[in-house]
């Protein structure tokens, strides 16, 4: 058993150390964290101990320009005399996630909150605030202390659409001032095209990736193949997006209780993902709402296995037009790619390690 256990341990180490977010792959897995949707949310650090997710999106900054944050049970302390959350434990976990090759974004908006801009000037001004609070700027109230996030996600579900393009343009100007790493702009539109709130910004400002919510709507994954409209979003990516290399993610609920409608199981999702991958080059991967739901239901493990078997990457791992001149991590093209003859050995090893870790075999004691 020592030999077998030693091999398994090596596989676990390989899986934990080789996963690094690469914007240019079509097999990234993004998941939202912070709202305890399944009522079983663990610390962020627990979810970052393995190679399941590539992108963690913190949810939410649900108030702006008057800043308000909500991470449910993950953070409840505030700066003295304010209502702004101060989250040193999450800060420590973010660093661990980033060290493991994961990108960590902060999502602005959500289904509930008080947010929105009056005009472009309002949006541009708030971009300065965001840079100071979460990136390389300086502020006396930094919710994650000295952490430098990897980007911002816009999940705008109310409050109008004014000012978001100006916000993105100003934030990207700040991004370019730091050549040490890559930064990202994400969005989370509803699947009906064009999006009611983010549509104007999607057509006029740079996005690196969009996590389209293919659920709670007539165009969701549960309506595949008749009404599922990834083709509309691929068309947007190639003809209207400022960034013609923007990546479009298939956003799904992590469990039946994660959304009003739209949940499908792992095999059904794999069928849709593989069909999209075969037909649309804008595909970036899969997104789930949220990590607590997807981990509890087991969908996260199924997604990871599906993605590992299919990954293709192009170019460097940094943000194309984005933002900062550095690279976000090692190029997954040599770690998780497929060849004409089938999945590479490294993908097989990673799949095995992930599967073993999820079934508990990796914890088997050596004796």
Tell whether 10 is covered by a domain: no
Alpha-carbon span 327 to 23, nearest angstrom: 10
For residue 357, pLDDT beyond 50: no
Tell whether 91 is covered by a domain: yes
Number of helices (H) and strands (E) in the chain: give both, helices first. Answer: 11, 12
* Coil/strand/helix, residue 265: coil
Tell whether 5 is covered by a domain: no
Count: domains in the chain: 1
Query: What is the pLDDT at residue 324?
Result: 53
Contact 335, 343 (CB under 8 A): no
Query: What is the pLDDT at residue 109?
Result: 98
Alpha-carbon span 323 to 154, nearest angstrom: 17
Alpha-carbon span 134 to 145, nearest angstrom: 8
Tell whether 347 is covered by a domain: no
Q: What is the pTM of this model?
A: 0.85
Task: Enumerate the β-bridge partners of residue 103.
Answer: 55
Q: Give the domain CATH number at 54.
A: 3.20.20.80
Alpha-carbon span 100 to 7, nearest angstrom: 21
Tell whether 53 is covered by a domain: yes
* Coil/strand/helix, residue 322: coil
Residue 194 is encoded by which pair of tokens?
């064009």
* pLDDT confidence bin for 315, thresholds 50/70/90: low
Domain enclosing residue 127, as ranges = 20-334
- Phi then psi for residue 183, to 5 deg, are -125, 155
Query: What is the pLDDT at residue 331?
Result: 31
Range of weakest confidence among 34-38, 248-252, 337-341: 337-341
Tell whether 284 is covered by a domain: yes
Considering the chain, what is the average pLDDT of its residues? Answer: 86
User: Which of 249, 85, 276, 20 minimizes the C-alpha distance to 155?
Assistant: 249
User: Which of 58, 4, 25 minimizes the C-alpha distance to 316?
Assistant: 25
Tell whether 171 is covered by a domain: yes
Query: What is the pLDDT at residue 354?
Result: 45
Query: What is the pLDDT at residue 333?
Result: 29
Query: What is the pLDDT at residue 311?
Result: 78
* pLDDT confidence bin for 244, thresholds 50/70/90: very high
Residue 265 is encoded by which pair of tokens?
């199981």
For residue 328, pLDDT beyond 50: no
What stretches of the chain show up as alpha helix (H) in DSSP? Answer: 2-18, 44-47, 88-99, 120-134, 164-176, 199-204, 230-239, 266-279, 291-297, 299-308, 345-359
Alpha-carbon span 7 to 43, nearest angstrom: 29
Residue 99 is encoded by which pair of tokens?
């060290």
Alpha-carbon span 8 to 31, nearest angstrom: 27
| 107-153: pLDDT as tens digits | 999 999 999 999 999 999 999 999 999 999 999 999 999 999 999 99
Question: What are the DSSP calls for 289-300, one per residue?
Answer: E-HHHHHHHSHH
Tell whether 367 is covered by a domain: no
189-200 b/e with 16+ CB inside 10 Å = b?
bbbebbbebbbe
Ramachandran category for residue 182: left, alpha or beta (phi over 0 → left; psi -120 to 50 → alpha): beta
Residues carrying an active site annotation: 157
């Amino acid at each position: 058993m020592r030999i077998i256990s030693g091999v398994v341990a090596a596989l676990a180490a390989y899986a934990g150390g080789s996963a690094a977010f690469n914007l240019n792959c079509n097999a990234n897995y993004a998941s939202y964290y912070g709202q305890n949707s399944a009522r079983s949310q663990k610390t962020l650090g627990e979810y970052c101990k393995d190679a399941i997710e590539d992108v963690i999106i913190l949810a939410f900054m649900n108030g702006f320009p008057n800043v308000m944050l909500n991470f449910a049970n993950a953070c409840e302390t505030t700066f003295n005399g304010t209502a702004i959350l101060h989250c040193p434990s999450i800060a420590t976990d973010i660093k661990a996630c980033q060290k493991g090759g994961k990108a960590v974004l902060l999502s602005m908006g959500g289904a509930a909150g008080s947010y929105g801009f009056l005009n472009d000037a309002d949006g541009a001004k708030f971009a300065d605030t965001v840079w100071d609070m979460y990136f390389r700027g300086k502020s006396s109230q930094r919710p994650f202390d000295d952490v430098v996030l990897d980007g911002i996600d816009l999940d705008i579900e109310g409050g109008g659409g004014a000012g978001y393009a100006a916000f993105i343009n100003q934030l990207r100007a700040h991004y370019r001032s730091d050549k040490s790493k890559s930064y990202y702009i994400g969005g989370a539109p509803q699947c009906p095209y064009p999006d009611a709130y983010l549509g104007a910004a999607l057509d006029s400002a740079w996005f690196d990736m969009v996590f389209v919510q293919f659920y709670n709507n007539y165009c969701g994954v549960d309506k595949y193949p008749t009404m599922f409209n990834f083709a509309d979003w691929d068309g947007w990516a190639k003809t209207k997006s400022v960034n013609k290399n923007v990546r479009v993610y298939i956003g799904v609920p992590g469990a039946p209780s994660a959304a009003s409608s739209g949940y499908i199981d792992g095999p059904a999702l794999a069928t849709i993902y593989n069909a999209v991958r075969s037909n649309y080059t804008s595909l970036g991967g899969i997104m789930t709402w949220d990590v607590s739901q997807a981990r509890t239901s087991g969908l996260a493990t199924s997604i990871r296995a599906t993605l590992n078997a299919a990954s293709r990457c192009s170019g460097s791992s940094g943000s194309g037009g984005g933002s900062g001149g550095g690279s976000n991590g090692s190029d997954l093209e040599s770690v998780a790619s497929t060849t004409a003859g089938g999945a590479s050995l490294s993908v097989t090893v990673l799949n095995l390690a992930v599967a073993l870790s999820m079934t508990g075999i990796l914890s088997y004691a050596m004796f």
